[in-house]
């Protein structure tokens, strides 16, 4: 899967009651303040799905079950691609352990935050899952 050298970043579209969880980046400085799907880098030898479940636990303190993948590889610039899955909360209440803030956004609130450029096309796709 993917080219050699491609860095995979995974993201969770956590949807509860027709609302999407958005997370505000704390770092690095050039991304701080931007909004994204919770998630992170896939470690060597780790599957995309395992990485995403682990990242949700580390970043939000929750346990999730992944649903379907949203689209395919979303380019993030450089050699990185974003892969996003819908996710269902099965344990815990999301807390901003590594982010500045978290927000639940309904379909009419998705444009209220400044999404990072790489996440924006996915947000448009997710709109269809809400409401």
Tens digits of residue pLDDT in 58-94: 999 999 999 999 999 999 988 999 999 999 999 999 9
- pTM here is 0.93
Average pLDDT along the chain? 94
Among the ranges given (3-7, 22-26, 70-74, 115-119), the one the predictor scored with the smallest mean pLDDT: 3-7
Sequence-distant (6+) residues with CB within 8 A of 46 are 54
Look at residue 125 and tell me if it is in a domain: yes
**Residue 35 structural domain:** 7-129
Decide if 1 is inside a domain.
Answer: no
Cross-strand pairs, 119: none
Kindly state whether residue 2 falls inside one of the protein's structural domains: no
Is the pLDDT at 1 greater than 60? The verdict is: no
How far apart, in Å, are the Cα atoms of 108 and each of 45, 93, 123?
39, 23, 12
Q: What is the spatial distance between Cα 39 and Cα 126, in angstroms, rounded to a whole number? A: 16
Indicate the pLDDT class of residue 4, thresholds 50, 70 and 90: low
Residue 81 lies in a domain: yes
Between 128 and 121, the higher pLDDT residue: 121
Please report, for the domain that includes residue 36, its CATH number.
3.90.79.10
pLDDT for the residue 77: 83
Within-domain flag for 93:
yes
Beta strands at 19-24 and 7-16: parallel, antiparallel or unpaired: antiparallel
């Amino acid at each position: 899967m993917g080219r050699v050298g491609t860095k995979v970043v995974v993201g969770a579209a956590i949807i509860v009651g027709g609302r999407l969880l958005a997370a505000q980046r704390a770092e690095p400085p050039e991304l701080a303040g931007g909004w994204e799907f919770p998630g992170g880098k896939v470690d060597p030898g780790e599957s995309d799905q395992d990485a995403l479940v682990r990242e949700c636990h580390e970043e939000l303190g929750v346990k999730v079950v992944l649903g379907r993948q949203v689209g395919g590889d979303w380019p993030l610039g450089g050699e990185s691609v974003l892969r996003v899955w819908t996710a269902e909360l099965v344990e815990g209440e999301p807390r901003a352990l590594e982010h500045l803030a978290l927000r639940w956004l309904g379909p009419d609130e998705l444009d209220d935050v400044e999404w990072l450029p790489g996440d924006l096309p996915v947000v448009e796709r997710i709109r269809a899952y809400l409401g």
